[in-house]
Amino acid sequence: MLSLLLILVAALFFTGIIIRTKSLASGRKGPGIIQPIKDVIRLFKKGSVYSQTTSIIFQIAPTIYFASVVMAMLVIPFGQSKGIISFNGDFIFFAYVLALGKFFSIISALDTGSSFEGMGASREALYSMFAEPAFFILMGSLALLTGYTSFHEIFAALHVGSYISYAITVLATFVLVMVAMIENSRMPIDDPKTHLELTMVHEVMILDNSGFDLGLILTAGFMKFAIYGALVVNLFIGMVRYEYAIPMFFAIQFLMAVSIGLIESFMARFRMSHNAQFIVALTSVSLLIFFAVLLILGKFA
Q: Which of 12, 77, 91 is nearest to 235 (CA)?
A: 77
pLDDT (0 to 100) of residue 73? 92
Residues 6+ apart with CB under 8 A from 162: 296
Q: When comparing pLDDT for 264 and 9, which is higher?
A: 9
Residues 122, 90, 179: CA angle, nearest 5 degrees: 40
- pLDDT at residue 69 above 90? yes
Q: How far apart are CA 152 and CA 147, in angstroms?
A: 12
Residue spans of the domains in the chain: they are 2-296
Region 256-285: mean pLDDT is: 81
Residues 215, 82, 186: CA angle, nearest 5 degrees: 35
- Its pTM stands at 0.88
pLDDT (0 to 100) of residue 63? 93
Least confident span in 185-189, 212-216, 245-249, 263-267: 185-189
- pLDDT at residue 243 above 80? no
Three-state secondary structure call for residue 81: strand
pLDDT (0 to 100) of residue 118? 79
pLDDT (0 to 100) of residue 137? 92
Please say whether the beta carbons of 261 and 18 come within 8 A.
Answer: yes
Helical segments of 112-162, H only:
115-146, 151-157
Q: How far apart are CA 84 and CA 75, in angstroms?
A: 6
Residue 273's H or E segment, with its range, is helix 272-297
Q: What is the pLDDT of residues 158-207, one digit of tens each?
A: 776 666 777 888 888 888 888 888 888 777 766 666 666 666 777 778 87
**Band of residue 152 on the pLDDT scale cut at 50, 70, 90:** confident
pLDDT (0 to 100) of residue 163? 67
pLDDT (0 to 100) of residue 111? 85
- pLDDT at residue 57 above 70? yes
Q: Which of 186, 172, 203 is nearest to 263 (CA)?
A: 186
